[in-house]
Amino acid sequence: MIATETRFDLAGAVRAAALSPLADPAEGLRGAEARASRELGERFDPQMRRNPRGFWAPLDALVPATQKRALTTSNGAGAVVTRYARMNDFTDLLRRKAVLGLMGVEFASLWGGDSPVAIPKKSTGATAGWVAEGSSLAESTPVFDADADSVPKTLGAAVTVTRRMWLESGNDELRDYLVGELGAAMAAEVDRAGLVGAGGVEPTGLFNLAGIPTASIAANGGALTRAHLVGALKAVHAANGDSPATARMGWATNPDVEARLRLTDGGMGDGPLWGDDDRILGKPAAATTAVPNNLAKGSGTGLSALAYGNWGDVLVNHAPAAFVLVNPHSLAGNFRVTAWLEVRILFRHVESFVVFKDVQTAP
């Protein structure tokens, strides 16, 4: 027997919405799912602007449950305990699956009402100084720049449930499939948008930010050397990008650059530039195909990008609830489940980074 806790049953809610004959499928939900969807809808969509073939779900519904067996109990309710997720676990899921999370980007849900909290940037901090006996300390007032754009972007992820899966799987199997696919898809897209998002309907990514410090290798691109990497590190550190106690310094690029640097001798007798410990110049390094390898500069083509900086200065702020849309209409008998989540990606200080956009990786 399995001991469980009450939680939002995503698979059950999807089945109820898909099979509901009512005009608003959310009305087909029952119990905890109906209450949660109704309360979240009143908070995030009081005007009922969303498509009615769906329902609201707390983010803990998008995280797989974990099971723990009690070794001292062979049967009964204590044999297996299912631990259901909290909303923070969804944040952790995104962080673990996204390279941005591995680099130290902050993932959080800082929302007030139906919109993200405005997060002003401190441009001038408090100052300290030494004073003589009886003298006054010069006053200093921190200066904060307004949060110019706190409007979130809408992230969608879709998964298809086949007719056989729908008929033959239990709710636990269907739930694990749904949350696994949707979580992985959302994490991959957060990575892509945070790095190379074009703006507009999606966030503006790091490599496309206005004013981002950019290092140049050569007029037509060129191979990275230790000197180039040290120069980037020096530029960020000279701008105090590494000064916060919470600084999370590191490198992010694509597999082409990783492979090239693993084969490039560092020239200091300590192995290649990208070591087996996944570090460059002592700082963590990660590769993802989200970073482009098809850039052009001058006559150079097929060039790659690389970034170094304080990833702790980046915030991925997501809503605490998702809207789940269920479409049961398909000639093949499949169901399509789509989850929509409001997300904002904030770069607190562009001077905390330096990027290359002209890295040559061909031998």
Neighbour tally for 322: CB within 10 Å: 29
pLDDT of 119-159, one tens digit each? Answer: 656 555 566 778 777 777 766 665 545 555 567 899 999 99
For residue 147, the model assigns a pLDDT of: 55
Reading the block at residue 263, the tokens are 């084969």
What is the average pLDDT value for the chain, to the nearest integer? 81
Does the pLDDT at position 4 exceed 50? no
> What's the confidence (pLDDT) of residue 338?
92
Asked, for residue 246, whether it belongs to a domain, the answer is yes
**Residue 11 burial by CB count (10 A; 0-12/13-18/19+): exposed, middle or buried?**
buried
pTM of the model: 0.78
Which of 63-77, 80-94, 170-184, 211-225 has the weakest average pLDDT? 63-77
Mean pLDDT check: name the lowest of 5-9, 107-111, 122-126, 352-356.
122-126
Question: What would the mean pLDDT of 92-96 be, rounded to a whole number?
Answer: 62
Average pLDDT over residues 9-38: 76
CA 140 from chain centre, in angstroms, equals 36
Q: Is the pLDDT of residue 201 over 90?
A: yes
Residues of the chain above pLDDT 90, percent: 39
Task: Using pLDDT thresholds of 50, 70 and 90, give the confidence band for residue 35.
Answer: confident
pLDDT over 60 at 186, yes or no: yes
Going 229 to 232 to 238 to 244, the CA torsion angle's sign is: negative
How many CA within 13 A on the CB side of residue 118?
8
Helix (H, G, I), strand (E, B) or coil at 100: helix
Report the alpha-carbon distance of residue 162 to residue 359 in Å, rounded.
43
Q: What would the pLDDT profile of 42-79 be if each residue is shown by its tens digit? A: 888 766 656 566 888 888 787 765 433 333 344 444 43
Residue 209 pLDDT > 80, yes or no? yes
Distances, alpha carbon 153 to alpha carbons 77, 160, 199, 233, 290, in Å: 44, 24, 10, 32, 19
- Residue 67 CA to residue 1 CA, distance in Å, equals 12
Identify the sign of the CA torsion 235, 245, 319, 111: negative
> Measured between alpha carbons, how far is 278 from 359 in angstroms, rounded to an integer?
19
Amino acid at 53: R
* Residue 137: inside a domain: no
Number of structural domains (the chain) is 1
Burial per residue of 244-257, b for 16 or more beta-carbon CB atoms within 10 angstroms, e otherwise: eeebbbbbbbbebb
Structure confidence at residue 223 as a pLDDT band (50, 70, 90): very high
- Print the SS3 string covering 119-187: CCEEEECCCCCCCCCCCCCCCCCCEEECCCCCCCEEEEEEEEECHHHHHHCCHHHHHHHHHHHHHHHHH
Q: How many CA atoms lie within 13 A of 327 on its CB side?
A: 12
- What is the band of 80 on the pLDDT scale with cuts at 50, 70, 90? very low
What would the two tokens of residue 42 be?
């009143």
Is the model's pLDDT at 16 over the cut of 70? yes
- What pLDDT score was predicted for residue 20? 73
Sign of CA dihedral 6, 11, 15, 18: positive
What is the model's pLDDT at position 49?
58
**pLDDT per residue as tens digits for the range 158-185:** 999 888 888 888 878 888 888 888 888 8
Model confidence at 346: pLDDT above 70:
yes
By CB atoms closer than 10 A (0-12, 13-18, 19+), residue 56 is: buried
pLDDT score recorded for residue 118: 66
Residue type (1 letter), 282: G
Give me the pLDDT at residue 308, please. 98
Nearest Cα neighbor of 101 from 286, 332, 262 is 286
- Owning domain of residue 356: 222-315+347-360
Nearest CA to 85 among 175, 156, 171, 1?
A: 175
Per the domain annotation, does 38 fall within a domain?
A: no
Given this model, what pLDDT does residue 64 score? 64
